[in-house]
Amino acid sequence: MHTVHHIAPTDILDDALIRDRTEIEEVALGELTVSIVEDGLRQPIEVFLRSDPGDGPRYGLIAGLRRLTVFRTLHANQPDRYPTIPAFVRQPADVAAAMAAMVAENELRAQITPWEKGTLLVASVQQQVFPTLDAACDALFPSLSRQARSRLRGYALVVETLEGALTDPRTIPSHRMDRLAAACRGGLGDLMCAILADHRHLSPETQWHALAPAIAEAILLPEDNARTSHTRDPRPRRELRLFSGVTLRRELTPTGWIIRINAKHARHPGIVDDILDYVERWFQRIE
């Protein structure tokens, strides 16, 4: 039986660990506030005693960011009624173990988005909590199957490739993250970044529809064929940007290849006819 401690909300550092949840939804926070005010806190948060707090908070948060956020607001408005928050004090072996406990708790209580999971993995490697993405996956998600952990590494690859380019990546569902991961692994990262640069700050759905035709190549072209073909350029040219402002982009569809021409900035409207004329000269013998 774990002892419940009562700790002042101001004595807990909420970012002592790299967190898997990057944003808190206001609606969910409001519902939780009503529940706590009416019924009290049903489940204590989890914290650990910081080894070197200095003049800062003595405790670091493991799990319960939303609960702590609510209690801080209540404490600020009614300090006499909400002087402390119930908490379990854990003693993880190290930061990595504390992060694993955080992930395990959040996996049970609230769904973390694929983008947030990828961001957590990338940040944990960048901040040298783990040496590699494989090590981070194994430590933070030990109960998942090998295939599921491979899927998470794909999410991390998407974050590394498209960080800052997407309007609201937290809204991307898992099946689309899987397609983006396949595109990253298929060498389409630069192409996706170029497409998103042309659709900066547009809605997530608009960005996805812009990406979908280009990333189809990673889904429709078998990886084994791409590796073993001796006739295909190992670094195929997928996009051509001309000084005139015209962009030509190749895309793979279920029925064959297409070349998409963006000529909105072209100096003359006959660019498509000109290209067709050149293609006819190259590939069709004119009598």
H helices present in the chain, as ranges: 26-39, 65-77, 95-109, 114-126, 133-140, 146-162, 174-185, 189-197, 204-220, 223-228, 271-283
| Number of neighbouring beta carbons within 10 Å of residue 100 | 20
For residue range 134-143, list pLDDT tens digits in order: 999 998 888 8
pTM (2 d.p.):
0.67
For residue range 129-177, list pLDDT tens digits in order: 899 999 999 988 888 888 899 999 999 999 999 999 999 999 999 999 9
Label residue 123 by pLDDT band (50, 70, 90). Answer: very high
Polymer length in residues for the chain: 287
Pair 45, 57: CB distance under 8 Å: no
What does the pLDDT read at residue 143?
85
Buried b (16+ CB within 10 A) or exposed e, 143-182: eeeeeebebbbbbbbbbbbbeebbbebbebeeebbbbbbb
Distance of CA 47 to the CA centre of its chain: 26
Residues 6+ apart with CB under 8 A from 74: 33, 36, 37, 81, 82
Distance of CA 15 to the CA centre of its chain: 19
The domain made up of 1-112 has a fold known as 3.90.1530
Average pLDDT along the chain: 82
Domain ranges of the chain: 1-112
Q: What tokens appear for 188 in the block?
A: 């389409």
Pair 95, 129: CB distance under 8 Å: yes
Label residue 233 by pLDDT band (50, 70, 90). Answer: very low
For residue range 193-204, list pLDDT tens digits in order: 988 998 988 999
Burial class (CB in 10 A: 0-12, 13-18, 19+), 216: middle
CA separation for the pair 263, 266 (Å, rounded): 5
What does the pLDDT read at residue 144?
85
Helix (H, G, I), strand (E, B) or coil at 4: strand
Q: What are phi and psi of 96, to 5 degrees?
A: -60, -40
Buried b (16+ CB within 10 A) or exposed e, 11-29: ebbbebbbbbbeeeeeeee
Q: Are strands 239-241 and 247-253 parallel, antiparallel or unpaired?
A: antiparallel
What's the rounded mean pLDDT across residues 87-93? Answer: 86
What does the pLDDT read at residue 53?
81
